[in-house]
Amino acid sequence: MRDVCYAAPVKTLHLMTTLALLGSGGAGAVGLELSAASPLTLRAAVTDLRLGNVTAGFGVSNRAADAHVTFGVDLPAVGGVSSRTDAAFAFGQGYRLGTAVNAALGPVALGVTLSGWTVGAARVEPLVAWAEAPVDLRARGWALDANARYRVNRDVILNVSGSVGGQPNVAAFGEWRRGDLSYRLGGRAGAGVLGVTGGVTWRASDTVTLAADALIGPGTDERGLSGSLSVADVLGEGSSVRLYGVYEPWRYVSLPARYGAEVTVPTPNGEVSVDARGGSGGLGVRGTVRFNVGRE
């Protein structure tokens, strides 16, 4: 079984290439992705298969088979509604299912995500454990996440978000924008956490963005710190480099310490990316090559 699983991306590469060529008959290009990662993960995928307002993609690795479907509708002069459904089936271990719906109506933006699983996220994709955004790593369970944003005016935005299912908590903060700087102030409360939050983002130029956030609470573990640096076009036009680090000792369904570096460089017919991630529990590296098949 192990040999069959490891060979899956290679054996399906010809089939995926054929499907990509068939799918490229439309107006947009279809993406063909090949990636290799440590802990050992070999994956081949086809993305950007379009049919009207629907976009789909699928992939196969030595760990799992996965697929996603997105749907979007624009509402002229008002906003729009979009959804994405993801499914992954880990060979001989279980499944992961999730659906996210987002809507923008004038100054209001809403989002809801419902997910359930019988296999841990790191079993399907090991590097996801050290992603910048926290990922629920329980072996099985469900989660419901929701967020709302209200733009008071051009410079002031109010945000509320919450989660139930794993480590229930709710966060609320206001954001004020002044020139190249954005300031955030609010709070978070829930299972294992209670504290005041604050942060700042500095857009140093059109290509450089630096952000930092902190949480301070009364308990020993009720604290947190995160930061990120994003630089565009540093390795040529269209390239990007992003560094991030997160320390949140109050989290118990996600890894408390996470950091990473992501580099993407365009090629004549696609792009190449490398990302390294680590933190609590280990370290991982992944390289990905993407080819655009067909005309834009």
Q: Give which of 37, 38, 69 is closest to 52, Cα–Cα.
A: 69
Whether 168 contacts 191, CB under 8 Å = yes
Q: Is residue 163, in this structure, part of any structural domain at all?
A: yes
Q: Is residue 159, in this structure, part of any structural domain at all?
A: yes
d(CA 257, CA 130): 8
How does pLDDT run across 250-291, given as a tens digit for each residue? 999 999 999 999 999 999 999 999 999 999 989 999 999 999
Q: Is the peptide bond before 39 cis (omega within 30 degrees of 0)?
A: yes
d(CA 215, CA 230): 22
Q: Is residue 150, in this structure, part of any structural domain at all?
A: yes
Burial 45-59 (b: 16+ CB within 10 A, else e): bbbbbeeeeebbbbb
Q: Is residue 241, in this structure, part of any structural domain at all?
A: no
The alpha carbon of residue 18 and the mean position of all alpha carbons in its chain are separated, in whole angstroms, by 28
Whether 173 contacts 140, CB under 8 Å = no
Q: Is residue 103, in this structure, part of any structural domain at all?
A: yes
Q: Is residue 33, in this structure, part of any structural domain at all?
A: no
The alpha carbon of residue 188 and the mean position of all alpha carbons in its chain are separated, in whole angstroms, by 22
pLDDT of residue 18: 54
Query: Would you list the DSSP string of 28-55?
Result: SPEEEEEEEEETTEEEEEEEEEEETTEE
Strands 270-279, 282-293: pairing is antiparallel
Strand partners, 112: 101, 146
What angle (nearest 5°) sits at the alpha carbon of residue 256, between those of residues 255 and 258? 75
Q: How many domains does the chain have?
A: 1
Q: What is the pLDDT along the chain (296 residues), one digit of tens a residue?
A: 444 444 444 455 555 555 555 554 545 679 999 999 999 999 999 999 999 999 999 999 999 999 999 999 998 877 899 999 999 999 999 999 999 999 999 999 999 999 999 999 999 999 999 999 999 999 999 999 999 999 999 999 999 999 999 999 999 999 999 999 999 999 999 999 999 999 999 998 889 999 999 999 999 999 999 999 999 999 999 999 999 999 999 999 999 999 999 999 999 999 999 999 999 989 999 999 999 987 54
Q: Is residue 195, in this structure, part of any structural domain at all?
A: no
Residue 35's CB is within 10 A of a number of other CB atoms, namely 18
d(CA 215, CA 199): 9
d(CA 217, CA 181): 25
Q: Is residue 111, in this structure, part of any structural domain at all?
A: yes
Whether 211 contacts 192, CB under 8 Å = no
How does pLDDT run across 7-19, given as a tens digit for each residue? 444 455 555 555 5
Q: Calculate the alpha carbon distances from 127 to 35, 94, 261, 278, 284 in Å.
A: 12, 19, 12, 8, 6
- Domain housing 140: 65-124+136-167
